[in-house]
Amino acid sequence: MTENPDLTAPPSDLSVPVAIEEEMRSSYLAYAMSVIVSRALPDVRDGLKPVHRRILYAMRESGFTADKPYRKSARAVGDVMGKYHPHGDSSIYDAMVRMAQSWSMRVKLIDGQGNFGSVDGDSPAAMRYTEARLAKAASFLLDDIDRDTVDFQPNYDESEQEPTVLPASFPNLLVNGATGIAVGMATNIPTHNPGEVIDATLAMIANPDITLEEVMEIMPGPDFPTGGTILGRSGIRSAFATGRGSVLVRAKAEIEEVRKDRRAIIITEIPYQVNKATLQEKIAELVRDKNSDRHIEGIADIRDESDRSGMRVVIELKRDATPEVVLNQLYRFTQLQTSFGVNMLALNGGQPKLMGLMEVLSAFIAFREEVILRRARFDLGKARDRGHILVGLVIAVANIDEVIRIIRAAPDAATAREELMAAQWDAAEVAPLLALIHDEGNVVVDGKVRLTEAQARGILELRLQRLTGLEREKIQNELNEVAQKINELLEIIGSRPRRMEVMRDELLAARAEVATPRMTDIADYAGDQDDESLIEPGLMVVTITRDGFIKRTPLEVFRAQNRGGRGRTAAGRRGDDVVVRSFNAHTHQWVLFFSSGGKAYREKVWRLPEASPTAKGRALVNLLPDLGSDEITAVLPLPQDEELWDSLHLVFATASGGVRRNRLSDFQNIRSSGLIAMKLDEGDRLIGVATCREGQDVFLATRKARCIRFQITDDTLRVFAGRGSTGVRGIRLAEGDQVVSLCVLNHVEATVEERTLYLRAANAKRRAENAADEADAEEVGVEAEEVVLEEGSALTPERFAELEAAEEILLTVSDGGFGRRSSAYDYRVSGRGGQGISNMTLSGSKRGSAVVATLPVLAGTDVMLVTDAGRLIRVPVDQVRVMSRQASGVTLLRLNETEAVTSVFPVLEDDSSDEEEAGPDGESGGDES
């Protein structure tokens, strides 16, 4: 047992102190470069990683070629592991298996027999059960490897020599692609159609200045062995130009009717590198998980009917499902549509380099030219050696008697060889031959020539049968053939166009063997798949509550109900929460949200949370996370046809009296985090936004019972070009006053006299109608026109009817709980920026000290009043009399001494409801709601 070393002793002469940081750095870099160069990245020249190259070379050396019988895979793996690849047999066998899989390789390099796995991800059988040999296409990578076309290097134990690269005769890197993860870098090169790749190479050979666009006309994009469809060309263009790009690949699917009233989606091709079995499991999982945001509805059954004739996955649908929507959901949420990230990183000159298509083709052409040049030089040397021997044979045949004499006189072969080399032979017959084959081995002096050692050996090995006349003629013919071959090789070596011609011929020969029809289609595609295609089109009822909850409910949930039905709950409420806004919209319709802080948000209706009629929905602050403490002051559903947006404008109003008009199209692109819609001064807030058209009127009401109405024209309120301004003054406010309401009214051209006469007549008509409501309507047989129109009035019945049809009614409510309705004709149109006119008479605290809101109301609707004490009352607007705009109104809500009304809004409910069982006369027995 050895003693422990003395760690405090000085180092010996053989030890060198090294900083641990430096040692770790150098060791890691050495490891990283080893992985990059010797394991993970393919070579741009033959498109192979070292393990694939060693497998192909070892199988060739062992004679497992395409014209020989299959041999056990274990034999090939053993040869590779024992001679060239110092790693485990599993990694070698996995690489070998992949080269034999038709769904992994565009052109198979290994011809396998047995179970080599499946597209479902099944593992191949053990190597002792499978058999393999080189495929025919592999010969185009290995041909001429023994003719000094490539460099060789010692294997891991220096007992064998292995090629550093294979003399590939077609661009295998592009044809079969590559995938690999190195240290700090990775490669992901897609497969391409072999015929197109070779045609593109030929085009570059013919025109070295060819552009990428011209090459892409020949080679439009990747061609995956599993087929599918590539969406769009922008990703391909980026990948070919820079080496990086994203290619969107989609499965091929058809919609078939499998039986009566039942349709199914038939998947016949899937994206590259997608596991079919895992894909089916994912689809089933999304169908089962009903709580997931990616839940797919409408699928009744999934089955795999694939066989030897091809792939066929049947996704049977329910009767009420829309096949196109289900298919789009499958594309969105499963690997039926994937993105192939192209990263064309390969070794070029031993260095990893990101290359575009043109660089890869140029590198291959340069490499192939070098192979042809080296092969020509090798063949030239062999041809010259053979020609040199043939010259010696010609000399021997011409001087056969002297040759025989020297041989018979020599005691042994060595002496005979020396005597033949020492003799001088007549050069008259061989001098032209020496020039013909460019032989520099024989030197002619004074018409005489001496034999070289190689020629002397060839003469001694000459069989007597070659001395016959026929054999002498064969020697001369062979010499002529060698001379012709030498001249051709010299031409190839000396002429680049000739080398390009040879390369073209060899590429055409490879194309005839490996070219196949394109398997992957390329379809024009505008951009990423729109989520709208995943949603069933239809109408929705969108409701928003006072406390900021929003939801959408399919309109068909609210079915028509007979008169007198009980109705149904339109929204679930928490405490005293009530619906403040409700509108019908299409699922693919945009909705704009405006906050009190001046920000705009935009969402499609289908993005709003869907809920049942009794659910409360989702908080807007969660839907619009950047809303913060602001409140939504306006919600505007926009026209589904975006071409109409240019004809619509938005009018903004702030609490300080500012207004601004913008085109609706200015809010066409809004980020998910919102967009500044209007710049506000410190302490100001946005109180309303409304859509408007040229010629309509803006109506502003203030807290201190002032209001103003002005027409929307370029002179009064121009269209602002940007969103960053504060706008212009809409109304001049008194100290302490602020705007509380904004609405847009229709502009009606009427003189002051017409408006005055109409208001007088309309009020008289309403009084008559009220009297008719209080008495029996049949006993009040008075025509309205007879009541309201005085004889000789300037207002004709026709003009009265015209003004009545265009009349709008405004409801004004004070914080004291009083309110009244007024005709919009009672508010004259003036210029923008004035102090306005009186909107309501506020006479003390009993009737209120401030106006809460002024809003247009329709007959037959209700409004909701909310107090600061949390009390609510729902009031039918028909119970509120139409009075003069200066009237104080009637009591809408009786308040406590310290209580005040804080908000007023229309109660918006859908007319449609669940159908009730009706009685014999068509009426139901419930109360109206």
Kindly give the pairing relationship between strand 658-663 and strand 719-720.
Answer: parallel
Inter-residue contact 431 to 422 (CB < 8 Å): no
In the sheet with 110-113, reading across from the earlier edge strand, the strands are: 71-72, 131-134, 110-113
Q: What are phi and psi of 337, to 5 degrees?
A: -135, 120
* C-alpha distances in Å from residue 240, one per residue of 19, 207, 344, 361, 671: 45, 18, 9, 11, 32
The pLDDT of residue 767 is: 80
Residues 8-13, mean pLDDT to the nearest whole number? 56
Separation of alpha carbons 535 and 429, rounded Å? 93
- Supply the Cα-derived Rg of the chain in whole angstroms: 46
Nearest to 652 by CA among 612, 692, 682: 692
Inter-residue contact 221 to 522 (CB < 8 Å): yes
Q: How confident is the model at residue 681 (pLDDT cuts 50, 70, 90)?
A: confident
Separation of alpha carbons 569 and 563, rounded Å? 17
Structure tokens at 218: 């020949």
Residues 896-917, mean pLDDT to the nearest whole number? 64
Architecture of domain 35-168: Alpha-Beta Complex (3.90)
Structure tokens at 83: 């001679």
The pLDDT of residue 290 is: 80
Write the CATH number of the domain with boundaries 252-335.
3.30.1360.40
The pLDDT of residue 391 is: 84
Structure tokens at 856: 């247009």
Residues carrying an active site annotation: 129
* C-alpha distances in Å from residue 593, one per residue of 520, 542, 611, 637: 44, 13, 20, 9
Eight-state DSSP code of residue 211: -
Query: Mean pLDDT lowest for which of 385-394, 420-429, 706-715, 828-837?
Result: 420-429
* C-alpha torsion angle, residues 911, 916, 919, 924 (rounded to 10): -50
Nearest to 87 by CA among 55, 48, 60: 55
pLDDT of 323 strictly over 70: yes
Eight-state DSSP code of residue 40: I
Structure tokens at 541: 């009822």
pLDDT of 123 strictly over 70: yes
Write the CATH number of the domain with boundaries 537-640.
2.120.10.90
Residues 62-81, mean pLDDT to the nearest whole number? 95
The pLDDT of residue 489 is: 93
Q: What is the pLDDT of residues 511-550, one digit of tens each?
A: 999 999 999 999 887 554 455 555 667 778 788 887 788 8
Angle between helices 453-460 and 357-398 (to 10 degrees): 60
Separation of alpha carbons 363 and 369, rounded Å? 10
- Classify residue 451 as exposed, middle or buried by CB count within 10 Å of its CB (0-12, 13-18, 19+): buried
Give the SS3 label for residue 172: helix
Alpha helices in 867-906 (DSSP H): none
Q: What is the pLDDT of residues 829-886, one digit of tens each?
A: 999 999 999 988 887 666 778 899 999 998 888 888 888 877 778 888 888 888 888 8
Q: What is the pLDDT of residues 758-778, one digit of tens each?
A: 888 888 888 877 766 555 444
pLDDT of 651 strictly over 80: yes
Inter-residue contact 813 to 880 (CB < 8 Å): no
Query: Mean pLDDT lowest for which of 455-459, 722-726, 851-855?
Result: 722-726
- Its sign, for the CA torsion 742, 867, 626, 537, is negative
CA atoms within 13 A on the CB side of 546: 18
Q: What is the pLDDT of residues 391-419, one digit of tens each?
A: 888 888 888 888 888 888 889 989 988 88
All CATH 3.90.199.10 domain ranges of the chain, comma separated, are: 35-168
Separation of alpha carbons 859 and 878, rounded Å? 6
Inter-residue contact 586 to 542 (CB < 8 Å): no
Name which residue leads in pLDDT, 410 or 669. 410
Q: How confident is the prediction for the chain on average, in pLDDT? A: 84
All CATH 3.30.1360.40 domain ranges of the chain, comma separated, are: 252-335
Structure tokens at 466: 């070659």
Separation of alpha carbons 920 and 929, rounded Å? 21
Task: Please report the beta strands in 765-888, taking only residues with DSSP state E, as ranges in sequence order.
Answer: 809-814, 818-823, 837-838, 851-857, 862-867, 872-876
Q: What are phi and psi of 44, to 5 degrees?
A: -65, -20
Separation of alpha carbons 542 and 602, rounded Å? 15
pLDDT of 219 strictly over 90: yes
Inter-residue contact 182 to 39 (CB < 8 Å): yes
All CATH 2.120.10.90 domain ranges of the chain, comma separated, are: 537-640
